[in-house]
Structure 1
Amino acid sequence: MKNLTKHTFLYRISHWGLTGIAIALIGWLSVACETSDVNRVFEGPYFVRFTDTLVTYKESYSQPVSIQVHNVGPILNEPITINYTVSGTARAGRDYTIQSTEGKVVIPANKSTGNIVLKLINNANNILESQSLTFTLTSVTPSTLQVGFGQNNIVGKQLTFVIQDDCLFGGTYTGTQRYGAQTATVRDIQITSTDCKNYLLSSWNLGIPFLSFDAQRPTLTFIDNGDNSLTVPSQTNPELGPTDKIAGTGAWNPKDRRITLNLQFTLALNSGKDTTLTYTQTYTPQ
């Protein structure tokens, strides 16, 4: 300090003082803003919206599909009625049907959600394309609510539903096989394909006696010959022995879409001899 002039010393004191005041002021404003944001209470308006904005299903999905609309706000002790429109390339009666009240969805009193129920129609024609539906919420009752939120209330106002075409045999099946007087039935067996010619069956274990566990789900490939007949090419499987093979033939019934497989299992025995087991299985669309 002894090397500073009186003028320089006073200047620095003044400068430091103003800087401190500025820093304190900025800190106070920051705290004030944070406190204001924390204490801010949402004052509405409350709104209804689609829970999702994009949903995709294959046309072979056999169960009803629920499209959810929910109330973003306090649960009301009266029903909420929401009107909607449907547009898009998917065709009503050919690609889908609406099983709930068309054009209207209701959130019941004391509930927070309601559903539009859609049922897909499997018109598989081996043309792998997609159709879509656009659901748009248009109005809501009571009038204390609004449709969607954000700029122009666009958020949550629309939902796009994509229906993916599936191959002729694609879908979910119930498999059945008889053993003498007994019948084994297994649900939710998937059949898939990427080219509509070669198919993958998710499990042929319909209570097969020589498999150790029902939980084993061995796969199987088969070929569509294009004339309602099927070929099961000779193939091995991890659930079989390394030298065991499975092959066979099959058919598809265009009336009920049921698939029948005549399977032959060639099992190599320890004695050096092979034994052949034959089973007929049917797969019915769910």
Structure 2
Amino acid sequence: MKDQTTYKQSGKQYTSHHWLVTLLMVVAVGWVSGACEEDHDLNRTFQGPYFVRFTDSTLTYKESYSQPIAIRVHNVGPILSQPITINYSVSGTAREGKDYSIVGTKGTVIIPANKSFGEISVKLINNANNILDSQSLTFTLTGVQPNTLQVGFGTGEVPIGRRFTLTIKDDCLFGGFYTGSGVVAGRTATVPNVEITSTDCKQYTLSNWNIGLINFVVVGNSTLFGFNAEKPALIFTDNGDNSLTVPSQANDALGTNGALSGTGAWNPRNRQITLNLQAKVRIGMTSNSVTTYRDTTLLFTQTYTPQ
């Protein structure tokens, strides 16, 4: 018969059987405790109340953005079979009627029956004056019907989702999106969403001057561009007297030794920009296996109308 291992601690003796029993008791207690905690977690449920909130907390747009801006308010909870009417207030440094306007009824947004969100529609007013600054517009939810809902989540000073801020960035005089048009080969071509940008309100970048130029024949069947998808940019300068200058500039679209230049004008009444462009291209002519090159200047006029 083997001897049991004996341990001494504080004057007491313990056998290996004592340690085994103690270990099993610890494991059992831990299992019961874990099971209770797991059961407790499974029984956790949201006690409400459900609430409405702004979907976003901030958005930023340039004042030259011409499309209505949708500020969304949504219902965090079951979709209701009745409309939800939400009241809001407006504050900030932006001036109504000069920097922005609210489309529809100011101060109220409705989530239609059986829908999860409604929208406040804001239209920016482009009063570009070459003074680059920013204004803010803050919307705060103030009440909701039915009153079983609340505005924002939480009970702090400003519940989550109760407030939304729209930042309106000033733009340069010619900044924004335009529709370009021009007559090429007897046909009028138009291209929307041509963007004009500037960082100093003196030199501007126009994002695409390929206005129907796939129909502009240079020589034979060769055209200036092969696809409408080609979007060459150009740079022009504001002379400060409603006249514009397109300085001579290299352009990949015109090939080696090609250059683009021209003049232009801005109409302060309708804010249209007209560009008279000159594109210098080098044409290769092959005869009897001998290729000769000559420079040719192409002239075309384009008009850009604010969207």
Using the alignment, how far apart are the partners of 2:267 and 2:18 within structure 1?
96
Does structure 1 residue 265 correspond to structure 2 residue 271?
Answer: no
Partner of 2:303: 282
Distance in 2 between residues matched to 1:127 and 1:17, nearest whole Å? 82
Which of 127, 130, 135 is the equivalent residue of 1:123?
A: 127
Equivalent of 2:162, from 157, 163, 169? 157
The amino acid that maps onto 1:116 is I
How far off its partner does 1:263 sit?
0.2
Give deviations 1:99-134, integer Å, cap 9, x for gaps. 021000000111110000000000111111100011
Q: Is 1:148 the counterpart of 2:152 in the alignment?
A: yes
**Deviation at residue 186 of structure 1 after TM alignment:** 0.3
Gaps of 5+ in 1: none
Match of residue 114 from structure 2: 110
Among 196, 200, 204, which residue is 2:201 paired with? 196
Count of residue pairs the alignment pairs up: 285
Q: Specify the SS of the correspondent of 2:13.
A: helix
Q: How high is the sequence identity, in percent, across the aligned residues?
A: 58
Q: 1:27 aligns with which of 26, 31, 44?
A: 31
Shift of 1:180: 4.8
Distance in 2, Cα, partners of 1:170 & 1:84: 32
Deviation at 1:16, TM superposition (A): 4.7
Of residues 6, 18, 22 in structure 2, which corresponds to 1:4? 6
Q: How many Å separate the matches in 1 of 2:239 and 2:31?
A: 78
What is the CA distance between 1:37 and its match in structure 2? 1.7
Distance 2:110 2:7 in 1: 83
- SS of the residue 2:200 aligns to: coil
Q: Which residue pairs with 1:175 in the alignment? A: 180
With over 3 angstroms needed to count, the CA separation of the structure-2 counterparts of 1:3 and 1:211, relative to structure 1, is closer
Change (3 A) 1:267 1:5: closer
Render the CA deviation track for 1:53-105: whole Å, top value 9, x for unaligned: 01111100000011000000000010000000000000000000000210000
Flag structure 2 segments of 5+ consecutive residues without an equivalent.
217-223, 285-291
The residue that corresponds to 1:207 in the other structure is 212
Q: Is the 8 A contact 1:100 1:118 kept in 2?
A: no
C-alpha distance in structure 2 between counterparts of 1:19 and 1:285, whole Å: 81
> Structure 1 residue 249 and structure 2 residue 263: aligned?
yes
Answer with 1 or 2: which has the greater Rg: 2
1:116-158 deviation line (CA, Å, top 9, x unaligned): 0000000111111100011000100001100011242610000
1:6-51 Cα shifts (integer Å, max 9, x gaps): 95334x5445534442343233222322232233222311000000
Task: Return the offset for 1:259.
Answer: 0.5
Write the distance in 2 (CA, Å) between the matches of 1:50 and 1:146.
12
Bigger fraction of residues in strand: 2
Q: Distance in 1 between matches of 2:7 and 2:259?
A: 103
The SS at the match of 1:239 is helix
For 1:28, the aligned partner's letter is V
Q: 1:136 and 2:140 equivalent?
A: yes
Structure 1 residue 51 and structure 2 residue 72: aligned? no
Q: CA RMSD in A?
A: 1.7
Give the counterpart letter for 2:72 in structure 1: Q
Pick one of 235, 244, 254 that aligns with 1:240. Answer: 254
Conserved? CA contact 2:90–2:139, under 8 Å: yes
**1:227 pairs with 2:258:** no
| CA distance in structure 2 between the partners assigned to 1:226 and 1:13 by the alignment | 99
TM-score by length of 1: 0.95
1:46-85 alignment to 2 at 5 Å? Answer: 46-85=50-89
Q: Distance in 2 between matches of 1:138 and 1:22?
A: 55
- 2: distance between equivalents of 1:160 and 1:245? 45
